[in-house]
Amino acid sequence: MIGNRVALRPLDVSDAQKLWDLIGNDTDTWRWVGSGAPVPSSAEDLHDEFLRKINRPDSEYFAIIDKQSETVIGSTAFLDIREVDRHFEIGSTFIAPTFRGGGRNIEAKYLMLTEAFENRGAVRITIKANAANLRSRKAIEKIGAKLEGLLRNQRQERDGTWRTAAYHSVIVEDWPETKANLEKLLSLEN
C-alpha cells in the first residue's frame, strides 16, 4: 500500500533493530502498545515479538515507511481478521515520536481502510484503544471512526491494572463519507 507520505509493507523481523533504535527507550509508546507480554528490553526482544506477531493466522502486520526518508517509522496491523464476517480490526499502531504529525497516521489509516473496504470486501472495521489513551482516541475520532462504547475490564495491562477499551468502528455504509473526510484531511496536510 503506497501513499504520498507513507508506504505500508509486510512487517519483517529485520525491522526490529530499526524500530528499536527509534522507540526502544520511549516509555510513552510502550505504555500503550501491547499488553500482557513484558515490555521489550532490547532489539532482540522486539525481534522475538515480531516473530510471534507475523505468524498469527488472523492478523497481518505492516511496517510504516516514511517515504521522504525511506525509514521504517512504525507499525500497524489488520487484527482479528474474520473473512466470513468481512471484519477487520486496525490496531497495534505506533509511530516513532520524531515522525508523529504531518499526516502520516492519517494516511496509514486511509491506505488500510481503502484496502479493506475496496479490495477485500470489508463491511466492518473495528478500531479500539485504551480509554485512557486520549491521543490515540483523538486520532481515531479524527479519521471519522464512530465511538460505539466502552468495554470495562477488557484486558489486563502489563502493570496488572485492567484496561477499559474504547471501541470505534467504520462500517461500509460510512465509508464514502469517511473516505471523503480523510482525503480532505490529507489535502490540508500538503
The pLDDT, as a whole number, for residue 144 is: 94
Domain harbouring 64, CATH code? 3.40.630.30
Tell me whether residue 113 is in a domain.
yes
The pLDDT, as a whole number, for residue 6 is: 97
Tell me whether residue 172 is in a domain.
yes
Tell me whether residue 1 is in a domain.
no
Tell me whether residue 63 is in a domain.
yes
Domain that holds residue 146: 6-189
The pLDDT, as a whole number, for residue 10 is: 96
The three-state secondary structure class of 131 is coil
As for how many domains the chain has, the answer is 1
Give yes or no for a contact between 164 and 152, defined as CB atoms under 8 angstroms apart: yes
> How far is Cα 22 from Cα 16, in angstroms, rounded to an integer?
10
Task: List the strands of the sheet with 146-156, edge to edge.
Answer: 6-10, 60-66, 71-82, 87-95, 124-130, 162-171, 146-156
Residues contacting 88, CB < 8 A, separation 6+? 78, 79, 80, 81, 82, 116, 120, 122, 124, 125, 126
The pLDDT, as a whole number, for residue 21 is: 87
Tell me whether residue 48 is in a domain.
yes
pLDDT in single tens digits along all 190 residues of the chain: 999 999 999 999 888 889 888 887 777 776 667 666 677 777 788 788 887 788 889 999 999 999 999 999 999 999 999 999 999 999 989 899 999 988 999 999 999 999 999 999 999 999 999 999 998 999 999 999 999 999 999 988 878 889 999 999 999 999 999 999 999 999 976 6
Distances (CA, A) of 182 to 67, 109, 113, 159: 19, 9, 10, 35
